[in-house]
A and B are shown apart, each in its own frame.
Chain A
């Protein structure tokens, strides 16, 4: 039995331990240790990817160990309620693990210029990465929940200590909203555990599909699914539950927003996909229209509000809301194209939003502002920055040849097959996306040149790495989508089999 996944998940601990032995005065060593701490998981995840068979179906690299067991003394003898330590990956989790490791390294690089990035900053950063890696590799609801919550605490600290002016309020609103989400999840998980006696994904899906699982009652199944939708809807976020996420995007330090918008939001979609669709395909189908409508609302609402924002961070925050709508649209279509589009959108948005927030961090670092009106004519002073920003914007609005196009296209193809009217309404959002992205990006890069900007340095070598790596990945997926879909085929087949019933 190999322990590849355990090694991977807990590899950030190496960095944490190294950091805790460093003196807080040695800033350079701390930053190096922090960066090294994120590189190690990246190496491990690449090794894992090399050993992954994309054609084989089912779980790979599984690990299992006994962990906790409760003995139930009943009238007919005792029975055991077991919670095991179970890990394993599918193609989807692998893709998300790679995304996590890549964005984490780049975010650590982006933290290089933060003046107040201290020892504890990187320790929290690495705990956060540990939690995110764990979420995607768990094969057990209990473990999933633990890692899910582990991401909560370091985020609270990272926002509350290293954020901007209104950071504490943002930290608390993050904590409470996500706390409510986790609370709902916990009830759902324990209820499922008590009904089925297992927390393993595979066994749960089997039990729930069997006649015994159906006897749990259709109200129970539907209410569980709706609870999951609300819990992960907070994380994603779905329209009325999104306010916390705006505050986080505006107040948190840019490298953390890269992680948050790039990875943490994806956990919501991952959860909906794995638990919602995977465990309750029938009920998910019956909620399809509702989810599609929610998706379209997200898409249009985010886009409309992004048009009127004057703060770049807010434009991107609303654009995230809007883009997560596309994920919902893809999932709601429940056919191959739609679901594939949704997953592509997860990866694509993860990369693009990380790139754009990184650039905002760069701009903020130089000018101390992220207001659109404070910029203009940046192309003259910082040509490389302006160029990457424009490219990132174009990717975000779905220009063919970039990753954003593939995902939007697939998601809408999927939805047009099943719900053409809703899809037609949603398509308006694509136009709006072009409007708000171009408005923001053009106002920053072109227009009359501002005097104050002439002193700004263009991207340094250190800053070029995250910018170009992310852009390259966006282009790679856009030009050669097969690289992603190869490892997703078996996951899609399994889930679609469930949907067909």
Chain B
């Protein structure tokens, strides 16, 4: 490949990624040369500008023809656009949380916070747009490594250190397992491109290795569950969520998880879409019982353990584990509505979860405790904040007139609409949802039924208030008029190009 082919390529399609990368580089340089005692908050505004620019590029790309670079190593298709939209929106909102986050003694590291957030986002963007094992893995690692550092952002805080350490160790193990699984896939096919692998697995000669293929599937999947915090690799979440600074917790539970789902959908559907299973049936159908078991176990574990939590961040860690179990259901049942329902749920999840974290940040900053009793009497101290939190919680619990309900409804349609309905899985889903009422409504009970511990009204931070308002409005609008988002999805994203390879001319 000479210089001419390199310059003749359509680099413009990577504009959002380049913007994020450029902003991150610029910020790190600025941080380096800025006087030590100068406030780093200006960097936060710059990074927000970078994300807005990247979003603008993404919107311009909506009408762009599907295109790719380096033999599908980087793809601009509907799938990547749809997921990048969620990733950018989520990170944008979380930046506002980070801007208003009190760093106390670690104030001097505020700059790092912003550009690590951007590099993590860059990793996520690549995970959403790549169709090659190598670049997918690089994106995954970029996201993970940035997150490890962010979890330990509060260097003088024991819990934050613990979080970072546990995250690195469990992350390392799961990465090893993922790579182990990928090495089998590469060994069987000799390809790293997902489309080529998919084709190679269609070959009849591969049939003698059907056990190895199934093995590779299970191992890779198990490794990747780390990113979405579902069983079997979910146990890191509570400790890491609890110890990390709050915006990082929000990032891990929303953006990082979305990127994980993008990777899982892209990887497994492309690689294994026509892979033979053991004796006859396609592999994707044969593994369904195992995946269903994992999804069910995730929902049960997340929701049951959440019942006993008093620490809000831990509680939301388990809630986020449970939500990962719900979002896995469409993937497990591989029905025709897989993409739109998963996308819609992730979008709804973005707003309700980030909104909830914004309220938590506001409340815990004031009450100086992460215990759930910090919410007591919130309705008296700040009625609108309590109402917003109620909307988020109702949505997380899947109550109608909120986005969460429509999302869950979509998941149900997947589970019950598949050729042989997954009634047991749907049963576990609703059963655990009812269990989740206990801990979700307990927060509501605290806010509305209990007397306040502290006097006086809450002083609000403007940024947090903005995030809360945006998320609450979006949660309600998506709940009452879900047609808007679905229509947008069908208009903008023709997912038929998902399975089409685009050879470089």
Contacts and interface: CB of A to CB of B under 8 A. Distances in A.
What is the interface residue range for chain B against chain A? 35 or more
Given A68-B482, A168-B449, A194-B416, A187 B426 contact: yes
A171 B442 CA distance: 11
Nearest to A81: B413
Nearest to A190: B412
Contact of A194 (B400, B421, B431, B448): B421
Contacts of B413: 70, 81, 190, 193-194
B337 A72 contact: yes
A146 interface: yes
B430 A184 contact: yes
A149 B404 CA distance: 13
A150 interface: yes
Given A149-B399, A150-B400, A186-B412, A191 B486 contact: no
B416 A168 contact: no
Interface in B433-453: 433-434, 437-438, 441, 444-445, 448-449
B437 A175 contact: yes
A168 B400 CA distance: 23
A161 B490 contact: no
B463 interface: no
Contacts of A167: 449
A176 B400 contact: no
Nearest to A73: B336
B184 interface: no
A194 B448 CA distance: 39
Nearest to A183: B430
B426 A70 contact: no
A153 B399 contact: yes
Contacts of A73: 336, 495-496
B400 A69 contact: no
Given A150-B401, A153-B394, A160 B445 contact: yes
Interface in A65-117: 66-74, 81
A183 B423 CA distance: 13
Nearest to B427: A187
A172 B399 contact: no
Given A68-B483, A150-B401, A180-B434, A161 B449 contact: yes
Contacts of A180: 434
A332 to B, nearest CB: 28
A199 to B, nearest CB: 11
Contacts of A481: none
Contact of B449 (A146, A149, A152, A160): A160
Contact of A172 (B405, B417, B438, B448): B438
For B336, B337, B426, which residue has the most chain A Cβ atoms within 10 angstroms? B336
A149 B437 contact: no
Contacts of B445: 160, 168, 171-172
Contacts of B165: none
Nearest to B418: A194
A175 B412 contact: no
B449 A67 contact: no
A296 to B, nearest CB: 30
A179 interface: yes
Contacts of A187: 412, 416, 423, 426-427, 430
B430 A156 contact: no
A192 B59 CA distance: 38
A416 interface: no
A280 B379 CA distance: 46
Contact of B486 (A68, A146, A152): A68
Contacts of B406: 68
Interface in A161-178: 161, 167-168, 171-172, 175-176
A322 B32 CA distance: 78
Contacts of B399: 149, 152-153
A183 B449 contact: no
A186 B417 CA distance: 14
A156 B401 contact: no
Interface in A137-169: 142, 145-146, 149-150, 152-153, 156-157, 160-161, 167-168
A70 B416 contact: no
B409 A190 contact: yes
Nearest to A78: B336
A179 B394 CA distance: 13
For A145, A168, A183, which residue has the most chain B Cβ atoms within 10 angstroms? A183
B258 to A, nearest CB: 21
B139 to A, nearest CB: 28
Interface in B324-352: 336-337, 340
Interface in B46-64: none
B430 A69 contact: no
Contacts of A168: 445, 449
Contacts of A157: 448
Nearest to A192: B416
Contact of A179 (B340, B437, B448): B437
B119 to A, nearest CB: 36
Interface in B476-505: 482-483, 486, 490, 495-496
Given A168-B445, A187-B412, A187-B430, A69 B337 contact: no
B490 A191 contact: no
Interface string B213-241: 00000000000000000000000000000
B450 to A, nearest CB: 9
Contacts of A186: 409, 412, 430
Nearest to A220: B421
A168 B423 CA distance: 33
Contacts of A145: 400
Contacts of B433: 179, 183
Given A153-B394, A194-B416, A70 B437 contact: no
Nearest to B432: A183
B22 to A, nearest CB: 38
Nearest to B496: A73
Nearest to B482: A68
Nearest to B335: A72
B486 A70 contact: yes
A150 B405 CA distance: 12
A71 B405 CA distance: 19
A224 to B, nearest CB: 11
Contacts of B426: 187, 190
A267 to B, nearest CB: 15
Contacts of B423: 187, 191
A187 B427 CA distance: 8
Contact of B441 (A150, A175, A194): A175
A67 B434 contact: no
B345 to A, nearest CB: 13
B457 to A, nearest CB: 14
A389 B408 CA distance: 47
A69 B416 contact: no
A70 B342 CA distance: 13
B438 A176 contact: yes
Contact of B416 (A74, A161, A171, A191): A191
Contact of B337 (A70, A161, A183, A190): A70
B336 A72 contact: yes
A69 B486 contact: yes
Contacts of A194: 413, 416-417, 421
A191 B406 CA distance: 16
Nearest to B408: A186
Interface string B222-266: 000000000000000000000000000000000000000000000
B381 to A, nearest CB: 14
6 tightest Cβ-Cβ pairs between the two chains A and B: A183-B430, A146-B400, A194-B417, A190-B412, A179-B434, A149-B400
7 contacts: A70-B413, A73-B336, A73-B495, A161-B449, A171-B445, A172-B438, A180-B434
Given A68-B406, A68-B482, 20 more contacts: A66-B483, A70-B337, A70-B413, A72-B337, A73-B496, A146-B401, A149-B405, A156-B441, A160-B445, A160-B449, A168-B445, A172-B438, A183-B431, A187-B426, A187-B430, A190-B412, A190-B413, A190-B416, A193-B413, A194-B417
